[in-house]
Amino acid sequence: MAEMGHLGLKDGVIPVAKYGRQGSEALAEAVREPLQRADALLMAAHGVLTVDEKSLDEALLKAAYVEEAAEVYLNAKLLNEGKVVPQIPVEDLRLQYPDKVKQG
């Protein structure tokens, strides 16, 4: 999914923050480290959290990308008879467009 490059995934995966009770200091601490690695994370037993330094609209778009990625992963795993789907290398997640498009 090309959209994964938009999530700022430094490790190539969407990190998961440890569980913390809603509104607690423990939950705030749990998301601190994963947010250093990505603009999107999953909060154990809570859901998705996304951030963007420019706008709330971009953060919302990133949340939609995470939901889409989860759906794609689940379908891929079902088609792969429950086996874990291989991780895509981080460098392949970055959007890359050619300088010129060949006319043919």
Per-residue model confidence (pLDDT) at position 6: 87
Long-range CB contacts for residues 44-48, cutoff 8 Å, separation at least 24: 44/16, 44/17, 44/18, 44/19, 45/19, 46/19, 46/22
Question: Which pLDDT band, with edges at 50, 70 and 90, does 102 fall under?
Answer: low
pLDDT of residue 20: 96
Per-residue pLDDT at 92 exceeds 80: no
The confidence score (pLDDT) of residue 86 equals 79
Tell me the two tokens of residue 74: 């689940």
Give the global pTM: 0.78
pLDDT, residue 97, reads 60
pLDDT band (50, 70, 90) for residue 82:
confident
Q: Cα-flanking dihedrals φ and ψ of residue 91, to 5°?
A: -65, -25
Summarize the confidence of residues 8-22 as an average pLDDT.
93
Give Rg (Cα) of the chain: 16
* Residue type at 101 in one-letter notation: V
Show me where the domains of the chain are located: 2-80
Exposure class string for 63-100: b at 16+ Cβ within 10 A, else e: bebbeebeeeeeeeeeeeeeeeeeeeeeeebeeeeeee
Mean of pLDDT over the chain: 89
Pairing of strands 47-50, 16-17: unpaired
Closest C-alpha among 14, 69, 71 to residue 43 = 14
- Topology, domain 2-80: L-fuculose-1-phosphate Aldolase (3.40.225)
**pLDDT tens digit sequence for 37-48:** 999 999 999 999
